[in-house]
Amino acid sequence: MKMIKHTVKSALNIYANISPKFCAKAHYYIKFKKKLNLTNPTNFNEKIQWLKFNELNGDIYTMCADKYKVREYVSSKGCDEILNDLYGVYDNPQSIDYNTLPEKFALKCNHGAGYNIICDNKSSIDIEKTNRQLNKWLRQDFSNLFIEPQYKKIERKILCEKYIENESGGFPDDYKFYCFNGKPYAVMVCIGREKGIPKFYYFDMNWNPLPFEDTIELINKKRFPKMPDGFNKMKEYAAKLASDFKFVRADFYLLNSKVIFGELTFTPSAGLDVTLQEADFILGSQLRL
């Protein structure tokens, strides 16, 4: 069964340049066991698929999906202060001088998602293995995997950024703001990622819980985390960065009330998020095409 799935996935990747709509419909059917309606999309996942073919080819989307160039966009919105420290930008791994890097850092490729290497102890890093992995990622056309055209024209680079950690040495909580027509509507809070058991809690812009995913547990127990210091600042930044788009998810880290920019996401889970359930329809109702 795994071999069959791998074969189907490989075939779709090859076919992506020939007929991206066919591939998008195939991915959607495989995931949800129903046809994708691009003529009259209703739920959030369907509308994300619609955006792929009607919006996301523009230059502004290429710029903002690029984990390097998006820094220019954030600066153009007057938000330089939330950018993470950048140690270097490289065309290939061989250009990285590891001797000049601090003991902790993060390496990432700029043309997709999940291309991250987090180093919390430079003395233990296998440079040869790390460089092989980076080269492998640089060769991949991430846009073809699940038809995400905003990544297609990105000039591929490697970034080295400051390692972000909270007071206990773990990953800080991250906050993902779902913004529609320039206005933040909901925030997803990811907690406990460093323990390998992340929880995903959703709140509206007044910090009222929304009945999505793990938040239902909190609602049933009537026990909610406090609104964090810095929440309103993040909300303001999200509105600034979302002003040019029908939909974007603006992602931030919050570290001791300091807001740190993460990324702008136009196709969460590539429009194939099976965990959204009721949220798929509620968020879909907010996205006016």
Q: What is the pLDDT of residues 120-156, one digit of tens each?
A: 999 999 999 999 999 999 999 999 999 999 999 999 9
Architecture, CATH, for domain 174-266: 2-Layer Sandwich (3.30)
Q: What is the pLDDT of residues 220-229, one digit of tens each?
A: 667 777 899 9
Q: What is the pLDDT of residues 14-33, one digit of tens each?
A: 667 779 999 999 999 999 99
Which alpha helices (H) appear in the chain, and where do they start and end? 2-15, 20-32, 44-54, 59-65, 70-76, 127-139, 215-221, 231-242, 278-286
Is the predicted pLDDT of residue 248 greater than 90, yes or no?
yes
Q: CA-to-CA distance for 276 and 119, rounded, in angstroms?
A: 32
Is the predicted pLDDT of residue 181 greater than 70, yes or no?
yes
| pLDDT recorded at residue 120 | 94
Is the predicted pLDDT of residue 255 greater than 50, yes or no?
yes
Higher pLDDT, 227 or 13: 227
Radius of gyration of the chain (CA): 19
194: helix, coil or strand? helix
Is the predicted pLDDT of residue 256 greater than 80, yes or no?
yes
- Token pair for residue 85? 């420290």
Domain ranges of the chain: 60-162, 174-266
The answer to whether the CB of 44 falls within 8 A of the CB of 276 is: yes
Residue 274 binned pLDDT confidence (cut-offs 50, 70, 90): confident
| pLDDT recorded at residue 240 | 98
| pLDDT recorded at residue 171 | 80
Predicted TM-score (pTM) of this structure: 0.92
Q: Give the distance, in angstroms, between the CA of residue 214 and the centroid of all CA atoms in the same chain.
A: 19
